[in-house]
Structure 1
Amino acid sequence: MFSTLTKLIALGSVAGVWSHAVMKEPVPRQAGPVHEELCGATVAKVLARDLTGPIENAMDAADGEYNCDAYFCRGYQYEDNIDNVKAVKAGDVLDFKIDMVASHRPGYANVSIVDIATNEIIEPLRTWDEYPGYNIGPDRDDIKFNITMPDTLGATCDAPGKCVLQWYWYVPRSSQTYESCLDLYVEA
């Protein structure tokens, strides 16, 4: 007779991957009609089925409708999130909460300000060379942490639609990518 743990391990082996992690706070970009139009119904369905799953699961299902970059904010589009843009100021502290459903080690992670037009990092804000961490106590700084908005962004992020704050986690051993983005702009 199989134990519950044995059954779960077997199911995980058949499915290939289990759910993993997603940014819960601040509330990240969400899927919407523009996302589905650009990424295609199949990719959008796979991403929606598991909000914490790796992007690669959706890429395995990509078909002729796929016309987006799922490796930038999971393919979620600014146009679907215009009403959720966060205004910030230099020195503001943003609290983060990551919903870590399952962890695969080792990996690395970062939180960065990214240019929407180029998908290039403008300002790295926090990095982890080994993610998730091994501390499982209440003071975990990998799933509950904060960052301070820098004063170096200037005109680069001075209007909505120019920048996102991106939480990014990559696990090389299993080639799995996890991302969440927050649209923001820096108020003067």
Structure 2
Amino acid sequence: MIDNCGASVAALVQADVTSHVEDMPEAAALIPGFNATACPLFLCKGLQFEDNVANVQEFAPGEVVNMKAILPIPHEGPMNVSIIDTATNTAIGQPLIEFASYADESLAVLPANNTDFDVTIPTTLGAKCAVAGACVMQWFWFGTGAQQTYESCVDMVVPAAAAAVVPNTAVAIDLCCYCCLSVAHL
């Protein structure tokens, strides 16, 4: 990340895993000749695939993935989990799950489905995510009152050859606050 994003951006991400994306352009502005193409801050907070190659997760079409989020400071707003094309930073298809209102800080206790939910890998990806680095599964949350964006991503691959749907497979993903995701296959 340091090579593409610079030391100040990398330090911001590493110092506070709960950091929101809006802080990052300020850090990037301090870097002479900052290259936004090499470090797309609004794609997984600028975290680089090359730094995470050893953690690429392989999913099958139709596979159910359990996600757990730790939300230490709730900010009400919309949230979604989507498959993102990393070349264009656009969603492929519809969100896997979405909430119009998520992490509402006015509630005494957040609903259980805000911190523990399942998504299903689409069966319609074809070869779009067959190569590692082409796609991520992105958890995206925007706190409307705070005007802050939080993102976490899973580097993933869905082999095109995996034509069979895998029913009722459980995979757990822990969302570490708002940092990179860690995945543990059960």
Give TM class, smaller chain: 0.7 to 0.9
Q: How does 1:28-177 map to 2 (within 5 A)?
A: 35-62=1-28, 63-65=30-32, 66-67=34-35, 68-105=39-76, 107-123=77-93, 124-133=95-104, 134=107, 136=109, 140-177=112-149
SS of the aligned residue for 1:141 comes to: helix
Distance in 2 separating the partners of 1:88 and 1:47: 27
Question: If the length of structure 2 is used for normalisation, what is the TM-score?
Answer: 0.76
* Alpha carbons of structure 1 residues 109 and 74: separation in structure 2 relative to 1, 3 Å: same
Deviations 1:139-180, CA, capped at 9 Å, x for gaps: 610111111111011111112111100000012332211000
Deviations 1:67-124, CA, capped at 9 Å, x for gaps: 211110010011111111111101211111111110122x111000000111000031
Gaps of 5+ in 2: 163-186
Question: If the length of structure 1 is used for normalisation, what is the TM-score?
Answer: 0.75
SS of the aligned residue for 1:173 comes to: coil
Higher helix fraction: Structure 1 or Structure 2? 1
Structure of higher CA gyration radius: 1
Give the total of aligned pairs.
Answer: 152
Give the fraction of aligned pairs with identical amino acids, expressed as a percent. 39
Gaps of 5+ in 1: 1-34
State the shift of 1:135 in Å: 7.7
